[in-house]
Amino acid sequence: LASKLPKVGTTIFTRMSQLAVETGALNLSQGFPDFDSPAPLREAVARHIAAGHNQYAPMTGLPALRQQVAAKVLALYGCNADADSEVTIVPGATEAIFCAVQALIHPGDEAIVLDPCYDSYEPSVELAGGRCVHVPLALPDFSIDWQRLADAITPRTRLIFINSPHNPSGALISRDDLDRLAVLIRDRNIHLISDEVYEHLVFDGVRHASVLAHEELYQRAFVVSSFGKTYHVTGWKTGYVVAPPALSAELRKIHQYVTFCGVTPLQYALADFMIEHPEHIAELPGFYQSKRDLFCDLLRGSRFTFNRAAGTYFQLADYSAIRPDLDDVAMAEWLTREHGVAAIPVSVFYQDAPRDLRLVRFCFAKREETLRQAAEKLRAV
Ligand code: PMP
Ligand code: GLN
């Protein structure tokens, strides 16, 4: 068989989680909570299954859930998206990204990704017959290098991916960044996929700068989010896309043949929970900020160095003072095997990682006890 993705292996998330299981290490690698979702949300799923909500959902998503999403984006971002023509419920942000890419990219087209970037972008582009052009974010703060981005645009560029809050760095895109981006693509036929799956995980009182709040950019954007991150249910693989009607229509043509629809009882439960517990979203930044601060405070007694993540549930840590001889893949493995804490190397999010990159990513979406145990092990490294 001639592979369509010859360079692709099994993702680092699968590999590191597997290694954590094999070695009995605390798993701070793949991003998922080790605590449960709110009980009323889980009970709602059971209730809806018992009530017989077990057949196909509408292809575009349950109307009640689409309405909740529309109400949310209006309240938070002032985006007056129509629940019927601009909101689509999908089985996970990954599926949404895949479908949006297939909708945008024709053979020979180019998509710009800002490295380090989430691992599903490039294979999605390649399967559409396109090619990714990698533009590194500027270190040490993972900000956009505007000159390099401008230089990377060619007549074949059809798509730019942005991701804020950013996995793996936790960095944020500002409103000013969005304005600059709007100017950059204004007279060009370029669309955006704005990966905002961590939209509610923004700390220190900062407001998330969503493309949904930017009228001009929104006209060209697929804005993707994930209930998995927001409601501590990554295993539910349920998310949504907000995009203008013409873009949503193209996305739906593809979504209907990739999965057709998302999981029905989960959509009922999420709609109920959003109606009954609006405070959940409001409390989320504080909830995760305390975890970040606990983890970082405990890590201060270690030889890792770091700047606190501005968003997401990931904390980067520099290990130059510990094992500068190891590259980050070897370091992540060594930490897992020898010190009982699994982490994700950052170079895997790059096409061409800087040679001296000495960063690993820890997920702090964990119980206090897990974070304390992990930090204790990391202080001993
Ligand atoms: N984008 C980013 C940046 C992510 O970290 C994730 C989380 N795995 C996803 C997309 C995919 O989200 P989902 O699990 O809803 O497919
Ligand atoms: N987004 C998660 C992370 O960055 C992993 C999701 C996955 O395993 N595909 O850790």
Counting from 1 in the atom list of ligand 2, the atom nearest the Cα of 234 is 6
C-alpha 358/C-alpha 165 separation (Å) is 21
Counting from 1 in the atom list of ligand 2, the atom nearest the Cα of 120 is 9
Say whether both 215 and 359 belong to one domain. no
Among 276, 310, 330, identify where a domain stops: 276
C-alpha 22/C-alpha 8 separation (Å) is 23
Q: What confidence tier does 181 reach under pLDDT thresholds 50, 70, 90?
A: very high
Residue 151: CB partners within 8 Å, gap ≥ 6? none
Counting from 1 in the atom list of ligand 1, the atom nearest the Cα of 227 is 15
Instruction: State ipTM.
Output: 0.98
In a domain, 3, yes or no: no
Q: What confidence tier does 340 reach under pLDDT thresholds 50, 70, 90?
A: very high
End-to-end, the C-alpha distance of the chain in Å comes to 45
Q: What confidence tier does 246 reach under pLDDT thresholds 50, 70, 90?
A: very high
What's the residue count for the chain? Answer: 381
CATH number at residue 303: 3.90.1150.10
H-run or E-run covering 317:
strand 314-318
- The pLDDT assigned to 346 comes to 98
Say whether both 203 and 256 belong to one domain. yes
Counting from 1 in the atom list of ligand 2, the atom nearest the Cα of 30 is 10
Say whether both 175 and 73 belong to one domain. yes
Say whether both 123 and 195 belong to one domain. yes
DSSP count for the chain of H helices, then E strands: 14, 12
Mean pLDDT for the stretch of residues 283-294: 98
- Residue 226 CA, ligand 1 centroid: distance in Å: 7
Does residue 30's CB lie within 6 angstroms of at least one atom of ligand 2? yes
Strand 110-115, strand 239-242: pairing: unpaired
- The pLDDT assigned to 188 comes to 98
The pick from 15, 19, 30, 232 for probing ligand 2's pocket by mutation, whose C-beta has the most ligand atoms within 8 angstroms, reads 30
In a domain, 4, yes or no: no
Say whether both 64 and 210 belong to one domain. yes
- Residue 30 CA, ligand 2 centroid: distance in Å: 5
| DSSP 8-state symbol, 310 | S
Which residue's CA is minimally distant from atom 2 of ligand 2?
Answer: 31
Say whether both 219 and 295 belong to one domain. no
Residue ranges making up the domain that contains 217: 39-276
Counting from 1 in the atom list of ligand 2, the atom nearest the Cα of 197 is 1
In a domain, 6, yes or no: no
Residue 140: cis peptide before it, omega within 30 degrees of 0: yes
Among 276, 308, 327, identify where a domain stops: 276
Mean pLDDT for the stretch of residues 367-379: 98
pLDDT digits (tens, 9 = 90+) for 76-97: 999 999 999 999 999 999 999 9
Say whether both 154 and 137 belong to one domain. yes
What angle, rounded to 10 degrees, do the helices at 264-276 and 39-50 form? 130
The pick from 13, 89, 117, 118 for probing ligand 1's pocket by mutation, whose C-beta has the most ligand atoms within 8 angstroms, reads 118
Say whether both 197 and 300 belong to one domain. no
- Residue 148 CA, ligand 1 centroid: distance in Å: 26
CATH number at residue 156: 3.40.640.10
Residue 65: CB partners within 8 Å, gap ≥ 6? 89, 240, 267, 268, 270, 271, 274
In a domain, 1, yes or no: no
- The pLDDT assigned to 310 comes to 98
Q: What confidence tier does 342 reach under pLDDT thresholds 50, 70, 90?
A: very high
pLDDT digits (tens, 9 = 90+) for 28-79: 999 999 999 999 999 999 999 999 999 999 999 999 999 999 999 999 999 9
Burial 257-294 (b: 16+ CB within 10 A, else e): eebebbbbbbbbbbbbbbeeeeebbeebbeebbebbeb
The pick from 172, 226, 255 for probing ligand 1's pocket by mutation, whose C-beta has the most ligand atoms within 8 angstroms, reads 226
pLDDT digits (tens, 9 = 90+) for 311-334: 999 999 999 999 999 999 999 999
pTM: 0.98
- The pLDDT assigned to 169 comes to 98
Residue type, 205: G
Say whether both 256 and 112 belong to one domain. yes
What is the number of structural domains in the chain? 2
Say whether both 288 and 316 belong to one domain. yes
C-alpha 296/C-alpha 294 separation (Å) is 6
Q: What confidence tier does 339 reach under pLDDT thresholds 50, 70, 90?
A: very high
pLDDT digits (tens, 9 = 90+) for 107-126: 999 999 999 999 999 999 99
Does residue 167's CB lie within 6 angstroms of at least one atom of ligand 2? yes
- The pLDDT assigned to 225 comes to 98
Among 229, 257, 276, identify where a domain stops: 276
Ligand nearest to the CA of 224: 1
Q: In what order do the strands lie in the sheet with 110-115?
A: 87-90, 239-242, 221-226, 191-195, 157-163, 110-115, 131-136
- Residue 303 CA, ligand 1 centroid: distance in Å: 30
Pocket of ligand 1, beta carbon within 6 A = 31, 92-94, 118, 163, 167, 195, 197, 226, 228, 234, 237, 239
As beta bridge partners, residue 222 has 193
Does residue 164's CB lie within 6 angstroms of at least one atom of ligand 2? no
Q: What confidence tier does 345 reach under pLDDT thresholds 50, 70, 90?
A: very high
Residue 167: CB partners within 8 Å, gap ≥ 6? 31, 118, 197, 198, 312, 314, 349
Mean pLDDT for the stretch of residues 119-138: 98
Average pLDDT, whole number, for the chain?
A: 98
Say whether both 175 and 74 belong to one domain. yes
- The pLDDT assigned to 49 comes to 98
Counting from 1 in the atom list of ligand 2, the atom nearest the Cα of 363 is 10
Ligand nearest to the CA of 114: 1
Q: What confidence tier does 289 reach under pLDDT thresholds 50, 70, 90?
A: very high
Say whether both 204 and 172 belong to one domain. yes
In a domain, 314, yes or no: yes
Which residue intervals of the chain are DSSP H helices? 12-23, 39-50, 63-77, 93-104, 121-127, 146-152, 175-185, 215-218, 227-230, 245-258, 264-276, 279-299, 328-339, 368-379
